[in-house]
């Protein structure tokens, strides 16, 4: 029995080492590093069309930014996806505030000769996205905030403190690659809940959606290469921004059952930003499970209304 346990543990460790090596290799490919005045910023630059700055959430990086853009808007954009401070090859500068991150976004766009872009900020990435629209309004053609982890005066963003989430917090705080990998393979529901989604919602979803969620879970690996950024995002000093000064066309999307409780912040922001369009789904959680097609249609309709892409009606007519 003891030998069998040791053998099983040895096989599991080899699988983990192989997977970790593959994930590290993947995370090291497909990106460049721009050496800006405020320091190096890693980014990916992919596709053709109107520029779109895809700002990832907690646990992300340029790779998650690319995946988010593909899910949200599809083809027809030049996607610029930076790794925020502390993620992958972007180090943590002395000032890692959302305002400083917004300045870095603006500097990156300037370095790439992009005068204006659609700006998409997801979860914790919404903070620097909103700051970019405030600090560099000339750079923002439209602002899209998805499940935004922003300030709310009545009900702040939060996460449940259950046994599973305590384990996930421990794994994150330890930068524990093996702990995350083990949970992914043995108890993925723990990580799904930690990412703001009820596991039962994922279990009842079509296979394609279950695959998308698990792809997101895996995208956090290697955890140790994203730990510094997660640490910044986990202890934010959220304050009220002068959102009423944002002039860019704005869309905000959230879900009532988001376990991170982003809906109050989404509603507050929508009430402050002039003309902002708020879309709320009854279900979907923080990853908007089961709403992928609806979200993409809503986003593309919004961008078409802002004159940034052809309307869906025009696209459908041309395809006939």
pLDDT, residue 236, reads 67
Average pLDDT for 81-94:
97
Query: What are the tens digits of pLDDT across the range 223-252?
Result: 889 989 998 998 767 889 999 999 999 999
Would you say residue 320 has pLDDT above 60?
no
Chain mean pLDDT for the chain: 87
The average pLDDT across 98-109 equals 98
Q: What is the structure's pLDDT at 178? A: 80
Q: Which residue has the higher pLDDT, 314 or 130?
A: 130
The reported pLDDT for the residue numbered 313 is: 55
User: CB under 8 Å to 12, separation ≥6 — which residues?
Assistant: 182
Mean of pLDDT values over 85-109: 97
pLDDT at 177: 82
pLDDT at position 18 is 59
Between the CA of residue 177 and those of 136, 159, 189, what are the distances in Å?
Answer: 37, 21, 17
Position 59 scores a pLDDT of 92
Closest by CA to 192, choosing from 173, 169, 165, is 165
Whether 179 has a pLDDT exceeding 60, the answer reads yes
Quote the pLDDT of residue 4: 40
- The count of other CB atoms within 10 Å of the CB of residue 65 is 30
- What number is the average pLDDT over the span 280-307? 96
Q: What residues are paired with 273 via a beta bridge?
A: none
Please say if the pLDDT value at position 9 is more than 70: no
Look at residue 180 in the predicted model and tell me its pLDDT: 82
Q: Reply yes or no on whether the pLDDT at 123 is more than 60.
A: yes
Mean pLDDT for the stretch of residues 266-289: 98
Tens digits of residue pLDDT in 189-208:
989 998 999 999 999 999 99
Tell me the residue length of the chain: 320
pLDDT of residue 7: 40
Residue 165 pLDDT more than 70? no
Say what the pLDDT of residue 159 is: 63
Give me the domains of the chain, ranges plus CATH numbers. 27-158+230-319 (3.40.50.1820)
Edge to edge, what strands does the sheet with 50-55 contain? Answer: 32-36, 39-46, 77-82, 50-55, 117-122, 140-146, 250-255, 277-281
Which span out of 73-77, 78-82, 177-181, 309-313 was modeled with the highest average pLDDT? 78-82
């Amino acid at each position: 029995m003891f030998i069998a346990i040791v053998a099983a543990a040895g096989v599991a460790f080899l699988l983990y080492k192989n997977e970790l090596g593959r994930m590290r290799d993947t995370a090291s490919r497909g990106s460049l590093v721009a050496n800006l005045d405020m320091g190096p910023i890693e980014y990916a630059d992919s596709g053709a069309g109107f520029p779109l700055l895809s700002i990832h959430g907690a646990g992300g990086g340029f790779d998650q930014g690319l995946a988010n853009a593909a899910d949200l808007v599809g083809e027809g954009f030049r996607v610029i996806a930076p790794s925020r401070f502390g993620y992958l090859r972007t180090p943590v500068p002395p000032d890692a505030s959302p305002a400083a991150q917004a300045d870095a976004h603006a500097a990156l766009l300037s370095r790439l000769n992009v005068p204006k872009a659609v700006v998409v900020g997801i979860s914790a990435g919404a903070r620097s996205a909103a700051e970019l629209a405030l600090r560099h309004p000339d750079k923002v053609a439209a602002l899209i905030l998805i499940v935004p982890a922003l300030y709310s005066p009545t009900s702040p963003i939060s996460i449940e403190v259950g046994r599973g989430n305590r384990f996930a917090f421990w794994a994150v705080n330890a930068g524990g690659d093996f702990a995350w990998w083990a949970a992914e393979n043995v108890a993925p529901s723990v990580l799904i809940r930690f990412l703001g989604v009820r596991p039962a919602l994922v279990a009842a979803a079509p296979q394609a959606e279950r695959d998308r969620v698990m792809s997101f879970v895996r995208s956090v690996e290697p955890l140790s290469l994203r730990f510094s950024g997660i640490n910044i995002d986990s202890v934010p000093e959220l304050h009220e921004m002068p959102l009423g000064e944002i002039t860019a066309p704005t869309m905000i999307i959230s879900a009532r059952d988001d376990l991170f409780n982003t809906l109050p912040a989404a509603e507050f922001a929508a009430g402050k930003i002039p003309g902002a369009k708020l879309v709320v789904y009854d279900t979907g959680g923080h990853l908007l499970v089961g709403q992928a097609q609806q979200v993409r249609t809503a986003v593309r309709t919004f961008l078409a209304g802002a004159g940034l892409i052809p309307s869906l009606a025009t696209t459908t007519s041309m395809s006939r």
